[in-house]
Copies of this chain bind each other. A is one copy, B any other.
Amino acid sequence: MRPSSSASDPGLFDEVLARGRVRCAVADPAWLQAMLDTERALAEVQASLGLIPVAHAEGIAGVADASLYDIAALGRSAAGPGNPVLPLVLAMRSLLPEEAGPSVHKGATSQDILDTASMLVAYRAMGPVLDDLSSAAQAAARLARTYRDVPMAGRTLLQQAEAVTMGLTAAIWLVALGEAADRLVEVRETRLAVQLGGPVGRLSAYQDEFAEKLGLAAPLVPWHTNRLRVADLAGALGAAAGVIGKVARDVTLLAQTEVGEVSEAHPGASSSMPHKQNPVAAISALACSAQAPGLVATILASMVQEHGRAAGAWHAEWRPVRELLISAGSAAAWLSECLGGLTVNEEAMAAHVALLPGLDLDGATVLFVDRALQAYEEQK
């Protein structure tokens, strides 16, 4: 007998690669709860319209709790139909009086439930992602303010070029993190939508009420095989991961032994080399963010979905959407730790910048810092 996979991945690598609260927000229980929330919302809307008895909807609400179900067992039954919705519907019905059974999942198709649940999962998981991005931005703002006028070597093509300030360096990080967050919020609020077409689009009459109950957007028409919403989510997460990677890369470079201009609060220990100060948070942020481009490519390539429901390309999205949330979220969590405890070595900066020709910091550098900080303060 196949050993239960529940014992399989207790998390040997998770503290590095699936950092922070996002991990739980996309784990199996969160998915199951989102599926149950979807079935519940459907029933409640149908009850409010008189399409099913109110008592049935109340019963459904009563069993819409993930802790009532054996996830591994649902998973094992998912192979037959190709997804876990049908097993869940059967399990829900088994917990309800027989006459309420037909009111569960009434008129819906599996993809309605799973697509809506995936949007709920994404919506909820973006909470921790945005929180961590926000902490990282706050730390960048602090650095920009504190080191507003501290000269450092500007570097291009990995060569010292002319002087900038540490304030400008941090301000550019701040703006990038803020823009990435803005787009994520935009996608969350306008592009994450319910799915409710049923096998032939018969459920449209109450799509808007369904959307309102779940706090998601309502689409014009079903989007079973128009995956633009998923692509928009992927694009925003992939771009956020890229921005995080840029900031983390800068930290690892500035923390090099030979540069020594910044150091992390809790550098990684080396068992054999105690003199080393590995910037583990920045390194891990890079590792997490590097997962994103390939995952975005998988999601984009999966957009080519046949007819009314794809033969494989839909199923192909599930894993990368989850992984992409982890990628961006973990990278954000690490970057927040990294910048939150970053120490700036002004002496090292001064020593490097003193060697540069053309040190004539003018008003523009400071202007950019102030502009970035002002925009940040206004938006808070």
Contacts and interface: CB of A to CB of B under 8 A. Distances in A.
Interface in A284-325: 284-298, 300-316, 318-320, 323
Q: How many copies does the complex hold?
A: 4
Interface string A230-264: 01101110110111011011101101111100000
Interface in A10-60: 10-19, 23-24, 27-29, 31-32
A75 B168 CA distance: 34
Point out which of A300, A309, A314 has the most chain B C-beta atoms below 10 A from its C-beta: A300
A28 B10 contact: yes
A286 B313 contact: yes
23 contacts: A4-B10, A16-B82, A16-B315, A19-B79, A80-B280, A157-B252, A158-B256, A158-B311, A159-B276, A159-B278, A161-B199, A161-B308, A171-B221, A172-B222, A175-B219, A204-B367, A221-B371, A239-B303, A253-B306, A256-B259, A258-B259, A275-B357, A294-B294
Q: Which 8 pairs, one residue from A and one from B, show the smallest C-beta to C-beta distance?
A: A235-B235, A242-B303, A286-B312, A287-B315, A156-B309, A294-B294, A8-B27, A294-B298
Given A163-B200, A183-B232, 20 more contacts: A11-B76, A13-B31, A80-B280, A89-B271, A154-B308, A157-B278, A159-B276, A161-B308, A161-B309, A162-B199, A175-B219, A175-B226, A200-B361, A220-B368, A226-B246, A239-B300, A242-B301, A256-B258, A258-B259, A286-B304
